[in-house]
Amino acid sequence: MRYGMNPHQSASVEGGPAVLNGEPSLINYLDALNAFALVREADEAGGLPAAASFKHVSPAGAALAGPVDEVAAETWRTSGVGEDTLISAYVRARDADPKSSFGDVVALSRPVDAETAEFLRTVICDAVIAPGYEEGTVGVLSGKKSGRFLVFEAGADWAPPARERREVLGTVIEQDRDAADLAAALPAGVLDGRHRRDALLGMATARYTQSNSVVLVRDGAAVGIGAGQQNRVDCVRLAGAKARVWWLRRHPFVRELPTVEGMRRQDRLNWQVRFAGAEMTRAQLVEFEGLFGAEAAGRYGDDGWRAEWAQRLDDVTLVSDGFLPFRDNVDHAAEFGVGTIVEPGGSTRSDEVAAAAAEHGIPLVTTGLRLFHH
């Protein structure tokens, strides 16, 4: 490998996906392997091409192929993309949290076609992993980053072993790989087809997200992922905040920010995220007004439009990798448009959690399956 976790750590690798271009580091391998496992499971569960945008061993976004809405099409310049295409899956995955997806590892469940390769050439990403590549696409991708772009090929028949082993500070730990059947764990007949698909995508995403984690899914795309928190309610609040910003980016005030000549796409996206989420520093607000004008700066300080638009977010499915321990998880979830909750169950306060869900009119589905990932 180019290096291990950090540049001052040397490292080597045995086995794994084929490296068709570039020199991976340890984190590149961790992202690529986890991301590909996620999209493969999501594809199997949903029956559609799947994609994930991975950063630091957790997904920033994950999605199945589907409709690319006007905002995403405008942002990523992908008008006319078909709903059943591989590129639609990745555009939907990357659009969930574009600030975090900057410099991501891209995972795709189907062989990379020419349209997808050309799109990847235009965005800031560090690597791609897929089960194969159509003729000419590796050449297109290999030219990125002055020839340093990483191209992994997992192979169509790739399958991880039944046991996995790691060594931590001289201690060797071995366990069964988490291969529990997600579809079997999700009770049949409880959710309709669309919500069951969203629940399965959320479960597959949670399985490869650093715990504790909560995933918010809407219409076949994970629009908010709260990863690696020490308590579950912070996972809910973090996932909800990300989903709300995703939704607020669809408000006309955000879409219609004046065009600034010479501003790069990612810079405009970052300003839209800051504006939508009301997360600017004082210095940034001064810069924002200089770039976009006094009217936009005035709207920034008005939370009324944000509150009104946020109330329109609905039909979100929440998936938790562990049980919800207190009702505050449900209360916060309701504020982010959650209409279905899927969790393992089994908390000593599960009755209180169920009662809270009933108060909010949110169906609560328990699977009995914990999906911790570290």
Span 95-146, pLDDT tens digits: 999 999 999 999 999 999 999 999 999 999 999 999 999 999 999 999 999 8
169 CB-near residues (< 8 Å, 6+ apart)? none
- Report phi then psi at 85, rounded to 5: -95, 160
* pLDDT tens-digit series, residues 199-214: 999 999 999 999 999 9
Which of these is catalytic: 21, 28, 212, 329?
212
Q: How many Cβ atoms are within 10 Å of 175's Cβ, its own excluded?
A: 9
**Per-residue pLDDT at 204:** 98
- Whether residue 48 is predicted with pLDDT greater than 90 in this model: the reply is yes
In three state form, how does the secondary structure of the chain look?
A: CCCCCCCCCCCCCCCCCEEEECCCCHHHHHHHHHHHHHHHHHHHHHCCCEEEEEECCEEEEEEECCCCCHHHHHHHCCCCCCCCCHHHHHHHHHHHCHHHHCCEEEEECCCECHHHHHHHHHCCEEEEEECCECCCHHHHHHCHHHHCCEEEECCCCCCCCCEEEEEECCEEEEEECCCCCHHHHCCCCCCCHHHHHHHHHHHHHHHCCCCCEEEEEECCEEEEEEECCCCHHHHHHHHHHHHHHHHHCCCHHHHCCCCCCCCCHHHHHHHHHHHHHCCCCHHHHHHHHHHHCHHHHHHHCCCHHHHHHHCCCCCEEEEECCCCCCCHHHHHHHHCCEEEEEECCCCCCHHHHHHHHHHHCCCEEECCCCCCCC
Is 332 designated active site?
no
* pLDDT tens-digit series, residues 214-256: 999 999 999 999 999 999 999 999 999 999 999 999 999 999 9
**Whole-angstrom Cα distance, residue 60 to residue 223?**
9
Does the pTM of the predicted model rise above 0.75?
yes
- Report phi then psi at 130, rounded to 5: -155, 165
Mean pLDDT estimate for the chain: 96
Which of these is catalytic: 21, 28, 55, 332?
55
Quote the distance between the C-alpha of residue 180 and its chain's center.
21
Six-digit token string for 70: 């006007």
Is 8 designated active site?
no
Q: Which amino acid is it at 179?
A: A
Sketch the domain layout of the chain as residue ranges.
Answer: 18-160, 180-374
**Whole-angstrom Cα distance, residue 113 to residue 247?**
30
- Report phi then psi at 155, rounded to 5: 90, 140
For 14, left (φ over 0), alpha (ψ -120 to 50), or beta? beta
Quote the distance between the C-alpha of residue 296 and its chain's center.
29
* pLDDT tens-digit series, residues 252-277: 999 999 999 999 999 999 999 999 99
The residues that bridge with 265 in the sheet, in sequence order, are none
CA atoms within 13 A on the CB side of 342: 32
Instruction: Give the CATH fold of the 180-374 domain.
Output: Cytidine Deaminase; domain 2 (3.40.140)
Look-up: residue for tokens 């076609």?
113
Average pLDDT over residues 301-317: 96
Residue 157 binned pLDDT confidence (cut-offs 50, 70, 90): confident
Is 55 designated active site?
yes
**Per-residue pLDDT at 277:** 96
- Whether residue 158 is predicted with pLDDT greater than 90 in this model: the reply is no
Cis geometry, peptide bond prior to residue 34 (ω within 30 degrees of 0)? no
**Whole-angstrom Cα distance, residue 100 to residue 238?**
13
- Whether residue 155 is predicted with pLDDT greater than 90 in this model: the reply is no
**Whole-angstrom Cα distance, residue 217 to residue 195?**
9
Average pLDDT over residues 47-57: 97
Average pLDDT over residues 336-350: 96
CATH of 18-160, one of 3.40.140.20, 3.40.50.1860, 3.90.1150.10, 2.40.50.140: 3.40.140.20
Is 212 designated active site?
yes
Residue 156 binned pLDDT confidence (cut-offs 50, 70, 90): confident
Rounded to the nearest 5 degrees, what angle is found at the Cα of 68, between the Cα atoms of 228 and 300?
65
